[in-house]
Amino acid sequence: MKTTLLLRLCGPMQSWGSQSRFMYRDTGREPSKSGAIGLVCAALGKPRVEVAGDGQPTLAELAGLRMGVRVDREGSVECDYQTAEDVAEAHGKGLRTVQSWRSYLADADFLVGLEGDRGLLERVDLALASPAWHLFLGRKSFVPAVPVRLPDQPPWGPGLRDQPLEIALRSIPWHGRPGEQPPSQLRFVGEDPSGEDADVRNDVPHSFDARAFAPRNIATQFLDFKEVTSPCGSRG
């Protein structure tokens, strides 16, 4: 029996960059694997530098979890312009002002599923109930609007389910705001080991300390709303 842990990533601002370079910070249209695993590491209190025998799951074990995303609210891509004054330049060239353009998602809502070993997922679920460190949605200032861990009561919970990833992501009702009309389709983004007609994302974390990432194949599908459990209306 396969086990899946579901998480809700919902907030006024989120950022899931995987191709950022220098002054320009991108965001994907849905959570990256490195971002989701980084959030899990924060809940566990797992430091960036791995220490053998510290009792923490290894990053390889966490990154090995199979991940899928259901997009319940797409959100919109916005850009934040920032400056940092009096930044010291390298090679003794004095001070300067640094500009940066940082993209983010506004008003997005995602259901994320992690499939794998039940014992590991039970530990993650327990950590999400009482996180060791602050949880954020891609950047430290982007806090969740609702708890990441699903409540245990129906129609949401429990978040830990003895179901394959795809079935678990379909088992939670769509949650709209009061009066919000459900979308005609929901976008599902999952891992595609076959690589056929897949996009490649370089977001599998091998080391957060050295910022080393590996690629994975991603497949996107669109499901008619009726293929997902009926909406629960005003749960926004």
pLDDT of residue 181: 84
pLDDT of residue 124: 98
Render each residue's pLDDT in the chain as its tens digit; 236 residues: 899 999 999 999 999 987 666 677 788 899 999 999 999 999 999 999 998 889 999 999 999 999 999 999 999 988 877 777 665 655 566 677 777 777 889 999 999 999 999 999 999 999 999 999 999 999 999 999 999 999 998 888 899 999 999 999 999 888 888 888 888 889 999 998 777 778 899 999 999 998 899 999 999 999 887 777 654 433 44
Assigned CATH for 3-75+105-227: 3.30.70.2660
pLDDT tens, 58-74?
999 999 999 999 999 99
Q: Which of 146, 81, 161, 155 lies closest to 114, judged by CA?
A: 161
Contact between 161 and 113 (Cβ < 8 Å)? no
Q: Give the integer Cα–Cα distance in Å for 212 and 27.
A: 18
Domain residue limits, the chain: 3-75+105-227
pTM for the whole thing? 0.87
pLDDT of residue 234: 37
pLDDT tens, 95-104?
777 777 778 8
